[in-house]
């Protein structure tokens, strides 16, 4: 199980190590014939360059990490993000690290200092995020899924939550609803600092203002029970309420159950639009009319962007805001 090195390849192929190195790194100045012969030997010997040594000598690392600082409560959409990022990584022959953990400044910096990754994708971005400041200060490459209050000189991929909520709200208004509540994201991180939560309220408030409706906003942790209780309280407090916009999957289930327990049937007596992964929207009963969160795409493009940043000489920062799309399923109907 002795490691096969570049020396072995060179010796067997009857060339020098530098020639082999050139071939490995697709450098010019190597005859077609030599290249073929060496490639053959590499294949025969089952040689693969030692990544650590490459990193040492060359500096590069060909590996990136996604940082998802969540501990206990999850949204059910995580895998799609990671899958996307992982696919983009392996397509570019990068190794994909996943760190699902609230990370310290120490550990974040050490990821780079120890040369374990050459860049990171940050998730769960706060409006004012210390990770962004730290990485920027040290000049370590990163891309965000989500965005801050100030994004000058930063690259990100995000879903346009504001437009998403608007779209959801206008769909309900188009169906005749005039008393619509928003069940907003909460609990995952500091709510006042969490961008999507703020942007949801923004979009919702605008549509309400435009149509002369009173905004009704509640915030819940992403679990069934919390949403159940808030929904109960809402329908008690607002007898005219005929529709809701809900974020994520678990809360949606809580809403459904509360409505059912209080004799409101969906969609006949009550309409609900979700902002959630389309996969999950299909699973529920009734299937949920929803604005899909394009998690796979977000993960994919973020990793792709990061790799471009790492490999392109004259990279310029890009900010990608994915537009919402509404899919009408079975949880909304005209107001009676």
Partner DNA sequence: TTGTATGCGTTATCAC
Partner DNA sequence: GTGATAACGCATACAA
Within 8 A by CB and 6+ apart from 318, the residues are 155, 305
- Look-up of token digits 């998802």: 68
Provide the mask over 303-322, with x wherever binding to a second copy is found by CB under 8 A and - wherever it is not: --------------------
Half-sphere exposure for 44 (CA within 13 Å, toward CB):
11
For the record, the structure tokens of 5 come out as: 């090195």
Pairing of strands 63-68, 95-100: parallel
**Closest CB 86 distance from a second copy, rounded Å:** 5
Residue 6 touches DNA, criterion: CB under 7 A: yes
CB count in 10 Å sphere of residue 26:
8
- With beta carbons less than 8 A apart as the criterion, state whether 191 and 219 touch: yes
- The interface partner of residue 5, options being a second copy, DNA, none and the CB cut-off 5 to 8 Å by kind, is DNA
Q: Choose the stretch contacting a second copy; rule: CB under 8 A; options: 97-105, 123-131, 148-156, 165-173.
A: 97-105
Cβ-based nearer residue to a second copy, 169 or 288: 288
Residue 34 touches DNA, criterion: CB under 7 A: yes
Residue 18 touches DNA, criterion: CB under 7 A: yes
- The interface partner of residue 25, options being DNA, a second copy, none and the CB cut-off 5 to 8 Å by kind, is DNA
Q: Choose the stretch contacting DNA; rule: CB under 7 A; options: 29-37, 149-157, 232-240, 286-294.
A: 29-37
Q: How far is residue 83's CA from residue 106's CA, in Å, rounded to a whole number?
A: 27
CB count in 10 Å sphere of residue 114:
8
Angle at 100 between CA 87 and CA 117, to 5 degrees: 60
Q: Which DSSP category does 265 fall into? A: P
Q: Which residues of this protein are in contact with DNA, per CB under 7 A?
A: 3, 5-7, 14-19, 21-22, 24-25, 27-31, 33-34, 47, 49-50, 53-54, 56-58
Instruction: Name the site residues for a second copy (rule: CB under 8 A).
Output: 1, 3-4, 46-56, 61, 63, 74, 76, 78-79, 82-83, 86-87, 90, 95-101, 109-110, 113-116, 138-139, 224, 249-250, 253, 256-257, 279-280, 282-285
């Amino acid at each position: 199980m002795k490691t096969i090195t570049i020396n072995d390849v060179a010796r067997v192929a009857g060339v020098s190590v530098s020639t082999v190195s050139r071939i490995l790194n697709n450098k010019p100045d190597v005859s077609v014939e030599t290249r073929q012969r060496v490639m053959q030997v590499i294949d025969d010997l089952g040689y693969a360059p030692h990544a650590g040594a490459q990193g040492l000598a060359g500096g590069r690392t060909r590996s990136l990490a996604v940082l998802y600082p969540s501990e206990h409560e999850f949204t059910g959409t995580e895998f799609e993000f990671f899958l996307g990022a992982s696919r983009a990584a392996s397509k570019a022959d990068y190794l994909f690290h996943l760190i699902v953990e609230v990370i310290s400044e120490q550990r974040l910096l050490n990821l780079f200092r120890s040369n374990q990754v050459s860049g990171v994708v940050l998730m769960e971005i706060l409006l004012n995020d210390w990770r962004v400041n730290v990485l920027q200060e040290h000049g370590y490459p990163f891309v965000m899924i989500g965005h801050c209050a100030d994004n000058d000189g930063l690259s990100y991929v995000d879903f346009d939550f504001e437009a998403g909520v608007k779209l959801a709200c206008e769909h309900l208004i188009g169906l005749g609803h005039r008393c619509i509540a928003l069940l907003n994201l909460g609990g995952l991180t500091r709510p006042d600092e969490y961008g999507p939560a703020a942007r949801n309220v923004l979009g919702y408030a605008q549509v309400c203002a435009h149509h002369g409706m009173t905004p009704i906003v509640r915030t819940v942790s992403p679990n069934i029970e919390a949403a159940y209780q808030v929904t109960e309280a809402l329908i008690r407090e607002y007898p005219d309420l005929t529709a809701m916009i809900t974020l994520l999957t678990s809360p949606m289930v809580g809403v459904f159950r509360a409505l059912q327990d209080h004799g409101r049937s969906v969609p006949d007596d009550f309409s609900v639009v979700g902002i959630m992964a389309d996969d999950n929207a299909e699973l529920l009963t009734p299937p949920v009319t929803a604005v899909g969160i394009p998690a796979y795409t977000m993960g994919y493009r973020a990793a792709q962007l990061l790799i471009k940043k790492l490999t392109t000489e004259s990279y310029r920062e890009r900010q990608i805001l994915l537009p919402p799309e509404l899919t009408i399923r079975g949880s909304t109907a005209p107001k009676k």
